[in-house]
Amino acid sequence: MTSVNYFQATEPILLRISSLTPDGLRSSPPRSGDGELPDSEQLISYIQEMMKDDFFREAVAVSSVSLASALAKVERRAVMSRKNLLSTAVSLTRYFLRITGRPTPFGLHAGVAEVRTGDRARAVFTGTARKAVRLDAGWLAGAADSWLALPAVRRAVDVVANDLCTVRGDRLVLPYVTASPVDGTPATGRELSLRHTTLTAWIRDRARTTLRYGDLLADAVKVFPTAGEERLDGVLLSLVRSEVLLTSLSPRLIDEKFLARTMSVLGPSSDEAAGLRDVLSALVDYRSAPPGDGAGAWTALEDAGRAVHPDGRSVAQVDLRSPAEVELPRAVLAEAEAYAGALWRIAPEGKSHRRMRAYYEAFVEKYGEGAAVRLPDLIDPHRGLGYPGGYLNPRVSNDPRLYVHERALEGERPGDRLERIAALIQRGVVNPDRELVLSDEDIARITIDSRPSALPHSLDLCFQLLADSAEGIDAGDFRLLASPMVGAGLAGATAARFAYVSRTEEAVARLVDPAGADDAITAQVVFRPQIPRLLNVVQVPELTRYDIPVGAFPAGNGNRHIDWRTLFVESDGERLRLLLPDSGREVRPVVPHMLSMSSVAPNLARFLGELRFTGERKVWQPWDWAGYGLSPWQPRVRIGKVVASPLTWRPSPEMRHLTNQRDDWSRAVDHWRREVRVDDEVTVVSGDKAYGIDLRDAFHREVLRRDLAREDLVLTETPRALGFGHGWSAGRSNEICIPLVAHPPRPPRAPHVPVAAKTICVPERHPVGSLWTSIHIHAVLEAHDALVRGLGDLTAQVTDTVDRWFYLRYFSPEPHVRLRLRSPDAASAAVVRQIVLEHLHRARETGLLREFSAQAYEPETTRYGGPRALDAAEEVFCRDSRTAVAQLTLLGSGRSPVPLHLMMCAGHAMLLESLGDWDWRGWAARQFPKCTDGSVTRGDVEAAARLIQPGRTAANLAAACGIPGIETLWREPSGLGRELGLSGDAGHRADRRRDTALVSLLHMQHNRLIGNDLASESRAIVLLGHVARQQLGRALNGKTQS
């Protein structure tokens, strides 16, 4: 493979290892001849035999309350139908297959341990696994809800106003509501709306920072004495129940500190505290019992939990620490590094997080490059942009301001990449081994932009390590099989939840919050998952020095909390960045866990986590068949010793449609196996779950039928089919999660600048009826030129009542022209509006337009550097609009002596020249590339150069077009050049904000004369660059321009 290293593996590496081997139980699936399913007695015998294994019995009890209850009925020979017995046996078999399949740390299914790197492979599996047990978050949420019904408990808790609440008119709106801790019903997309009364406003203001509920109630009684304490207590409790007030009983981390605080709130001598102590004591007893000896202790723990809060859920969350001692040689990590680099090189652009990149484009369009906007203003759908499309909590509809950019990005295509991938597929299909081995040359053919500067900061990648022995690993006889659960886009996120189990908290913290070359702050995003029990998934330690609570109680050290309402968002030319309010230091939000943010997190938390993708045109992705994934089967794909994608079969349409007809389904399976040559033993993969079955076994086929009926899945070859086993890991399925960091690391950013020194965007708005008249005129694209030509007659009628006007063409959400006119006073503005509306009414009657409407005008103040610069820019807009109307009138007559592309190029030079005495040629020569596609000829350059001459461009263009007014319009220098800092040799110095403003001026100039034509726009500026370089070269050589 290539010697270029894009990523470097580091520690800590997490090992996940199954608790049982495939032959770990004495019982085999029940058989009943001729493919028939077993009768009731056979099922009972099978279930009882399976449950003789004490470890498996305990694992099932910990994992499923309902299955454990069904097994108890079988044991006591309770009357059960064959249907229920079959369902119980299938569920039991599925649990065993999953325990021995892909190792998923869930209860006692699999253990975790740290892997170290060494000179040689070493794997020792002795000793006893140890349990890590803590209270289940779902059970605790329900218990806390019941405790809050008690006045003494309620008055002892701390409360704070939910920072997600906003005021909308006379309503208080909470845009994110978690599920009820009683029934767990999801609340996806639902907002809570309450009347925003004087009392509610006072409560939110008083509880802006944390205080005791009892103190809040006492203060409320003083301020609202006529309301009475009982009523006020009821109001406060209702606000707690509705999550407008958050309490200290909603934990971020269920640790010893939290439990101590909870005991204090309950009151040491209360019945509630005694019940909780009983639960914690039983929890310690269960934790102390070795795996396989804990069934009785688990039952006692469950009984203690039900005595406190009988909601039918398990009281504890259980993880397992494996006794494994493992070291792996550098050769294993080198294969992972090469694989990660290869997959990065071939990852397509624009496929992932397209909506975030569209959001960036919409931000720049609205606020300008380099603008800093308050985060609360940005995410407000009325004051700012709201959230990206597709967000669910609350549900976000398609916003035309964002959707237009999404559609533009959909048009990006990676050339002939699909054709080349099809050729690779064909090669794998015709290979007798059904394997596609990707060489460096193959990867180079489908590589898309592999610049190191674009690398992600870090990754977690997960693999099954297959080898027959540790000695085999040292000899290079191993394979890495990429996991269905690929990993994470942040190194350490996969291991973070298990850091307390594997004792790697400090090492994981160094991954998540590395000591970097810049001074950015890394902060964990903390929130409450929508479903309370999912708090188990986000139980990660404090891995960064700071956190950003989002709709969550800010427990612990207040100095580490960053209030998101104080933050700014800035566009830096590449992406959106989060900034502290005073210093301007960048804040990098991280989400160091594996919870799906799209469905069960508040929009703001998801937005913060995805902010980094606003600048990522490509994101690391696993092997993707690029549109060919619906093929009946796909060959194995291997890169070095890494199997990027195993040999895979899709269930046939008949199999998917006949799952409710067992006999027909079985025949469909037989036909499918013959048709696409499916192995006898396969791995069933659904999401991150994977387990092995034998398709010759009727009972295994029944498991498959039932799973296929309820979820989408594929089947792959087994690890054994690759020719390597799990001998090195004592016969148990394993997975190693390897953190990788960008190599070399991304270069440090420039030192931070205080926010006060930045262009703070406070959106300006000129409403309908102000001094600005802003009209949106809707017409098909073909009518725009005629529509603009008519503006000459219109503006001639309002010369005495307008001091400036300009127009722009727009293409979203549908084609229209925006006309803006500014009057010196209100009376003049009223006259202008009347004249404009009458003119447009007549135009509509003639069929020139479809509709028109008065709209507010929101200037792009920050794009041009602030209010004074915008004032000067609008004066340039006015000159350019008058020029464009005259030019379009000439072009419409069919008698223009100047071709359109030369007119446009000379117009660009004329505009740049009008900005003052500065080296605009040096700027254009540096800014605009050379022609590489033949669109600009030598003749074009010579013709444009005759128009574009120092100090004479406006006069030359006016004479060539026969429009004397052009020279008059552009004779006086614009004040915009001074506002942009243009003087002397400024053209030779890079300045991102200035360059953005200048390019925007040229873009708008092209928009007015020609419209939305990227090829035409590119041709004009490329031609301008050639003219500038030619004239600079001749000046340098002492030549004069003819």
Give the pLDDT score at 814.
86
User: What confidence category does residue 548 fall into, taking pLDDT thresholds of 50, 70 and 90?
Assistant: very high
pLDDT exceeding 90 applies to what percent of the chain?
Answer: 73
Asked which of 255-269, 738-752, 885-899 is least confident by mean pLDDT, the reply is 738-752
User: What confidence category does residue 801 fall into, taking pLDDT thresholds of 50, 70 and 90?
Assistant: very high
User: What confidence category does residue 365 fall into, taking pLDDT thresholds of 50, 70 and 90?
Assistant: confident
Give the pLDDT score at 1042.
42
Give 346 or 207, the one with higher predicted confidence.
207
- Report the relative pairing of strands 110-118 and 325-329 from DSSP bridges: parallel
Give the pLDDT score at 415.
56
Instruction: Tell me how far CA of residue 25 lies from CA of 21, 28, 52, 90, in angstroms.
Output: 8, 8, 9, 16
Give the pLDDT score at 545.
93
Give the pLDDT score at 759.
58
User: What confidence category does residue 984 fall into, taking pLDDT thresholds of 50, 70 and 90?
Assistant: low
Asked which of 570-579, 615-624, 740-749, 991-1000 is least confident by mean pLDDT, the reply is 740-749
Average pLDDT over residues 116-126: 95
Highest mean pLDDT among 289-293, 414-418, 755-759: 289-293
Give 232 or 429, the one with higher predicted confidence.
232
pLDDT exceeding 70 applies to what percent of the chain?
Answer: 93
Residue among 258, 319, 326 at smallest CA distance from 499? 319
pLDDT at 989 over 60: no
Give the pLDDT score at 102.
92
Give the pLDDT score at 615.
85
Give the pLDDT score at 1041.
44
pLDDT at 748 over 80: no
Average pLDDT over residues 690-718: 94
pLDDT at 641 over 90: yes
445's CB contacts (< 8 A; 6+ apart) are 420
Give the pLDDT score at 3.
58
> Helix or strand or coil: residue 729?
helix
34's CB contacts (< 8 A; 6+ apart) are none
Q: Do residues 652 and 708 make contact, with C-beta atoms less than 8 angstroms apart?
A: no
Question: Measured between alpha carbons, how far is 602 from 4 in angstroms, rounded to an integer?
Answer: 40
| pLDDT per position as a tens digit, 555-570 | 877 789 999 999 999 9
| pLDDT per position as a tens digit, 219-233 | 999 999 999 999 999
Average pLDDT over residues 965-983: 89
Give the pLDDT score at 183.
55
Give the pLDDT score at 302.
96
| pLDDT per position as a tens digit, 32-51 | 556 678 899 999 999 999 99
pLDDT at 794 over 80: yes
- Locate all alpha helices (DSSP H) within 948-991, ordered by sequence: 953-961, 965-969, 976-979
List strand residue ranges (DSSP E) for 529-676, in order. Answer: 546-550, 568-571, 576-579, 586-590, 633-634, 636-639, 642-645, 648-649
| pLDDT per position as a tens digit, 129-149 | 999 999 999 999 999 999 999
Question: Measured between alpha carbons, how far is 897 from 424 in angstroms, rounded to an integer?
Answer: 54
Task: Write a three-state SS string for 701-719.
Answer: HHHHHHHHHHCCCEEEECH
Give the pLDDT score at 985.
59
394's CB contacts (< 8 A; 6+ apart) are 175, 176, 189, 190, 191, 603
User: What confidence category does residue 189 fall into, taking pLDDT thresholds of 50, 70 and 90?
Assistant: low
Residues 695, 697, 699, 700, CA torsion sign: negative
Peptide bond into 310 cis (omega under 30): no
Give the pLDDT score at 364.
86
| pLDDT per position as a tens digit, 914-970 | 999 999 999 999 999 888 888 899 999 999 999 999 899 999 999 999 998 999 999
pLDDT at 516 over 80: no
pLDDT at 413 over 80: no
> Helix or strand or coil: residue 112?
strand
Report the mean per-residue pLDDT for the chain.
90
pLDDT at 578 over 80: yes
Average pLDDT over residues 756-776: 81
Question: Measured between alpha carbons, how far is 904 from 1017 in angstroms, rounded to an integer?
Answer: 9
Instruction: Tell me how far CA of residue 355 lies from CA of 358, 401, 592, 618, 622, in angstroms.
Output: 5, 12, 22, 13, 20
Average pLDDT over residues 268-274: 95
> Helix or strand or coil: residue 941?
helix
- Report the relative pairing of strands 245-247 and 158-161 from DSSP bridges: antiparallel
Average pLDDT over residues 488-494: 95
Q: Do residues 193 and 171 make contact, with C-beta atoms less than 8 angstroms apart?
A: yes
Give the pLDDT score at 121.
97
